[in-house]
């Protein structure tokens, strides 16, 4: 198979030569931010939302990205063009950059920008039903590492995912420090009760997922009431339907949590409807950034 070409600071390198220094503070300290982005049929889905989130994350960690938002979008598009990808995945990483040892970010002269393309979806299978556990590892509170920053520091989530793997589950649902439902290790969560869609608010320590935003738009367009409020474990166990959302997996039914069957144990009607609408939205021309103009 032909090697993918990886974007590093404006140049492209074949996979086998795409390397970043061991002195990069992204490697040394997890000091950086990233985005996981999908392209469908020659358009990058909701690129504006992803780039906005990236630049907001950068501002919070006081990282000056040396490209304008427009230039960053073009770098993403160029990465797909170089690799002749119409539908696939992009992993965009901006780290603090190369610098001597020590936490001081001033040790790094300029950020490292990397864009890794994948012609196939590398994460969980789309729309596959999921069995989850509730992890004992709690989500980082915003007064520690703000979860709204999509940082390269994912140990919190990885610890939760390890708990899921140990329990033979597909995903771990994390609680916030207060004990309310927050999100999955790499996805947002929704429950449905009596026809209403309920999702944890930002103060429950979630990443503001792009798929979450799109899901809320879809539900509202379908006339489904959307409520963002704190969700207890009891409410999750006793929901009529539940699903998780993320760029890789899109809308995935959650059919079991901690050995409790959710609803009928099958993907529910509202989940299926939203999942179908999501697939349509992903292909709507105006929802994407045109790569092959």
Q: Contact positions toward ligand PMP, by CB under 6 A?
A: 36, 157, 183, 186-188, 207, 209-212, 245-247
Please say which residue, 80 or 207, places its beta carbon nearer to ligand PMP: 207
Find the radius of gyration of the CA atoms of the chain. Answer: 19
In the complex, minimum distance from the CB of residue 104 to ligand PMP, in angstroms, rounded to a whole number:
28
Kindly name the residue from 100, 150, 229, 279 that is annotated as catalytic: 150
Assess contact for 238 and 191: CB atoms under 8 A: no
- Exposed, middle or buried by CB within 10 Å (0-12, 13-18, 19+), for 246? buried
Please say which residue, 176 or 183, places its beta carbon nearer to ligand PMP: 183
Please say which residue, 12 or 58, places its beta carbon nearer to ligand PMP: 58
Q: How many residues does the chain have?
A: 293
Helical residues (DSSP H) of 88-239, grouped into ranges: 155-166, 210-221, 233-237
* Residue with the CB atom nearest ligand PMP in the bound state: 209
Helical residues (DSSP H) of the chain, grouped into ranges: 25-29, 47-60, 69-82, 155-166, 210-221, 233-237, 269-283
Assess contact for 138 and 147: CB atoms under 8 A: no
In the complex, minimum distance from the CB of residue 232 to ligand PMP, in angstroms, rounded to a whole number:
20
In the complex, minimum distance from the CB of residue 93 to ligand PMP, in angstroms, rounded to a whole number:
13
Please say which residue, 157 or 252, places its beta carbon nearer to ligand PMP: 157
In the complex, minimum distance from the CB of residue 188 to ligand PMP, in angstroms, rounded to a whole number:
5
Catalytic annotation present for 150: yes
d(CA 9, CA 113): 5
> Which residues are tagged catalytic?
150
């Amino acid at each position: 198979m032909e090697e993918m070409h990886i974007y590093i600071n404006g140049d492209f390198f074949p996979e086998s030569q795409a390397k970043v220094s061991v002195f990069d503070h992204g490697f040394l300290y997890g000091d950086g931010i990233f985005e996981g982005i999908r392209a469908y049929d020659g358009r990058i889905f909701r690129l504006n939302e992803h780039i906005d989130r990236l630049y907001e994350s950068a501002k919070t960690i006081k990282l000056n990205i040396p490209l304008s938002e427009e230039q960053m979008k073009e770098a993403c598009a160029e990465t797909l063009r170089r690799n002749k990808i119409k539908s696939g995945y992009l992993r965009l990483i901006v780290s603090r950059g190369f610098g001597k040892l020590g936490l001081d970010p001033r040790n790094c002269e300029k950020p490292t920008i990397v864009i890794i393309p994948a012609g196939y979806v590398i994460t969980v299978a789309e729309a596959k039903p999921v069995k989850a556990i509730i992890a004992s590892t709690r989500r980082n509170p915003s007064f520690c590492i703000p979860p709204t920053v999509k940082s390269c520091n994912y140990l919190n989530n990885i610890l939760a995912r390890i708990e899921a793997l140990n329990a033979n589950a597909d995903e771990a649902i994390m609680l916030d420090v207060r004990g309310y439902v927050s999100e999955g290790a790499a996805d947002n969560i929704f429950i449905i009760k009596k026809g209403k869609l309920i999702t944890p608010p930002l103060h429950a320590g979630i990443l503001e997922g792009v798929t979450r935003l799109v899901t809320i738009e879809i539900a509202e367009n379908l006339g489904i009431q959307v409520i963002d409020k704190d969700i207890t474990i009891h409410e999750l166990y006793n929901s009529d339907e539940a699903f998780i959302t993320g760029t890789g997996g899109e809308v995935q039914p959650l059919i079991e949590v901690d050995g409790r069957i959710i609803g009928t144990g099958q993907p529910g009607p509202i989940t299926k409807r939203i999942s179908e609408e999501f697939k349509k939205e992903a292909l709507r021309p105006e929802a994407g950034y045109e790569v092959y103009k």
